[in-house]
């Protein structure tokens, strides 16, 4: 298929496709002449994946490039997961070593029996959130950490179970990457729904 058809089928404008090509987010197309290209079904799929990562997962184009590279490379799955985790916005460096947030996170993680490497991006993210909470004088969050952790464990277990179901390695990598990125949004959505339900039960007409 040629450019205009690729654009139609994927729902991405020709100009944007060219942009993604410049950014090396698409595989090289087949050439029918040095000056003309033919695209295939995998280009459509790739474009859809890019849009999902960008629109739903909120990734930047640079992050998408890193994530796609990880999904393609024949890399250990836990490494692919690490790359996907690192690509997600908000994954920055750990707060000061001795920060209260780090201490609390490590302590609760230990009490869950988790084996987590010190450079896990989630550890930095969670510690950062805790530090913010503490700085805002919302200490109450600490007491609910264990329950958050149990919930996270449930989710993580089914995440990994889903990966194991995949028929081949390429598919597993894709599942890891897509699941890591889109799973956050899915859970966030479900949490809002559950919050509304819990709010109804707890204080909708009673005290507000």
Partner DNA sequence: AAACTATCGATAGTGTTACTGTCTATATTT
Partner DNA sequence: AAATATAGACAGTAACACTATCGATAGTTT
Q: Is 99 exposed, middle or buried (0-12, 13-18, 19+ CB in 10 A)?
A: middle
Name the nearest CA neighbour of 111 among 60, 86, 145, 75.
145
Q: Which does 10 bind (CB under 5 to 8 A by kind): DNA, a second copy, none?
A: none
The interface with DNA within residues 6-35 (CB under 7 A) comprises: 13-16, 18-19, 21-22, 29, 32-35
73 binds DNA (CB under 7 A): no
User: Is position 8 an interface residue for a second copy (rule: CB under 8 A)?
Assistant: no
Q: Which of 1, 3, 37, 52 binds a second copy (CB under 8 A)?
A: 52
Residues with Cβ within 8 Å of residue 107, at least 6 apart in sequence: none
How far apart, in Å, are the Cα atoms of 39 and each of 3, 26, 145?
Answer: 7, 10, 49
Considering CB distances under 5 to 8 angstroms, the limit depending on partner class, which of a second copy, DNA, none binds residue 41?
none
Among 16, 21, 99, 185, binds a second copy (CB under 8 A): 185
- Whether the CB-CB separation of 53 and 81 falls below 8 Å is answered with no
Q: Which of residues 120-159 bind DNA (CB under 7 A)?
A: none
x/- map, 67-96, a second copy, by CB under 8 A? ---------xxxx-xx--x--xxx------
Q: Is 164 in the site for a second copy (CB under 8 A)?
A: yes
Does 162 sit near a second copy (CB under 8 A)?
yes
CB of 27: closest distance to a second copy in angstroms? 16
Residues 178 and 186: their CA atoms lie apart, in Å, by 11
Angle of helix 121-135 versus helix 100-111 axis, rounded to 10: 120
Task: Tell me if 146 sits within 8 A of 111, measured CB to CB.
Answer: yes
Does the footprint of DNA cover residue 198 (CB under 7 A)? no
**Interacting residue with a second copy among 6, 12, 49, 87 (CB under 8 A):** 49
């Amino acid at each position: 298929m040629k450019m205009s058809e690729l654009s139609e089928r994927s729902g991405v404008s020709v100009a944007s496709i060219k942009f993604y090509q410049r950014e090396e987010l698409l595989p090289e197309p087949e050439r029918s002449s040095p000056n003309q290209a033919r695209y295939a079904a995998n280009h459509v799929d790739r474009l859809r994946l890019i849009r999902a990562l960008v629109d739903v997962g909120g990734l930047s184009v640079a992050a998408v490039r890193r994530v796609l590279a990880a999904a393609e490379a024949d890399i250990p799955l836990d490494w692919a997961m690490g790359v996907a985790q690192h690509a997600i916005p908000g994954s920055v460096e750990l707060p000061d070593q001795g920060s209260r947030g780090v201490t609390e996170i490590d302590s609760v993680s230990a009490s869950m029996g988790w084996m987590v490497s010190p450079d896990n991006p989630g550890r930095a993210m969670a510690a950062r959130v805790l530090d913010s909470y503490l700085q805002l004088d919302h200490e109450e969050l600490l007491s609910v950490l264990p329950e958050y952790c149990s919930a996270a464990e449930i989710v993580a277990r089914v995440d990994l179970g889903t990966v194991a179901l995949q028929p081949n390695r390429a598919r597993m990598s894709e599942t890891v990457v897509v699941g890591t990125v889109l799973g956050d949004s899915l859970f966030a959505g479900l949490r809002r729904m559950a919050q509304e339900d819990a709010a109804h039960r707890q204080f909708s007409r009673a005290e507000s």
